[in-house]
Structure 1
Amino acid sequence: MAPSDLFATFMDAVPLTGSAFRAYLRRRFRDYHLDLTLEMMQVLHYLWGHDGVSQQEIARAANRDKATMTAMLDNLVRRDLVERRADLHDRRTNRVVLTPKGQALEQQVKPLVAEMFGVAGQGVAPDQLRTCLDVLTKITKNLTPPEK
């Protein structure tokens, strides 16, 4: 296989892997009657470690634009998992705070994510993961314009 074909096959596999992760979690969430998407879970996961951060910080951490993050947080508010609070020092900024229900959800979700990583990692050595991470990091760096 030519290097360009191998590269194209590799890059095609990346979103397929992401889709497999999403489908696996969707099934497990459904099994446990959790009304969440992978994207919502990523936001909650960030908040479990950084409760009370700004909406902008969550968007940066989740690699989402402002409009997408606003809609996602609206969904999480409707589910009573988070609430928005005005920043005491800057009223233009919203702080996103977990509700008790959002905090409690951590105990249900984290084991499912750990289970998924265990299933996904069967037969994959840690050095293989490090190599893949190094390759993806290098590709990202190669494709990202230098900052001015």
Structure 2
Amino acid sequence: MNFNKQNELDKFVELIDIIQGIRTAMRKHLRHKIKQHHFDITFEMLEVMIELWKRDKINQQELADILRRNKATLTSLIDNLSARHLVERLPDPRDRRINLVALTQPGIDYRAQIMPLMHDFYETFMADFSMTQLEIMTTDLGKLYMNIQANTATT
């Protein structure tokens, strides 16, 4: 391997380390804030809620795919959210074998309690970045993700 290729590989490894570090730090920070504000929800449940706030309802498999979680893990998260009366399972009218996951009214209302935390998170950590920089990072990291997905064997 020539010197330039080794430098590129080293930079790529550094990028992956940074991405993993960001995810770990973000989870740690949000877990602390959730606990500090006495929200009865875990970081993982919050991820589910954020996806559900974007849409009316979604089938469980699609939600598992979006969140990159296996069905068993997602089932447990949905069970816990359901026990808190934040979500409900509904039969899909097109195929009763499929469960749809939908927010309940308390789940919809919960957004107003959580969003100040999310806005604070954004303001704290993105203050040094312009919208243009954020768009470029999102686009570039999205391309990287798509390249990885396109070249990863599915099981």
**TM-score, normalised by the number of residues in structure 1:** 0.85
Equivalence for 2:85: 80
How many matched pairs?
147
Q: Distance in 1 between matches of 2:146 and 2:102?
A: 33
Task: Give the deviation of 1:39 after TM superposition.
Answer: 2.3
RMSD: 2.2
Task: Give the deviation of 1:115 after TM superposition.
Answer: 1.1
Equivalence for 2:145: 140
Q: Secondary structure at the match of 2:100?
A: strand
- CA separation of 1:9 and 1:146: change in aligned 2, threshold 3 A: closer
Task: Give the deviation of 1:141 after TM superposition.
Answer: 2.9
Paired AA for residue 35 in structure 1: D
2:118 counterpart (113, 116, 127)? 113
Paired AA for residue 134 in structure 2: L
Q: Distance in 2 between matches of 1:132 and 1:88?
A: 40
**TM-score, normalised by the number of residues in structure 2:** 0.82
Which structure 2 residues correspond to residues 13-92 of structure 1 after superposition, within 5 A? Answer: 13-92=18-97
Q: Distance in 1 between matches of 2:124 and 2:20?
A: 18
Q: Structure 1 vs Structure 2: percent identity of aligned residues?
A: 34
Matched, 1:127 2:132: yes
Q: Distance in 1 between matches of 2:143 and 2:118?
A: 26
Q: Secondary structure at the match of 1:93?
A: strand
Paired AA for residue 111 in structure 2: E
Equivalence for 1:95: 100
Task: Give the deviation of 1:92 after TM superposition.
Answer: 0.6
Q: Distance in 2 between matches of 1:15 and 1:106?
A: 27
Q: Distance in 2 between matches of 1:109 and 1:49?
A: 14
Task: Give the deviation of 1:110 after TM superposition.
Answer: 1.4
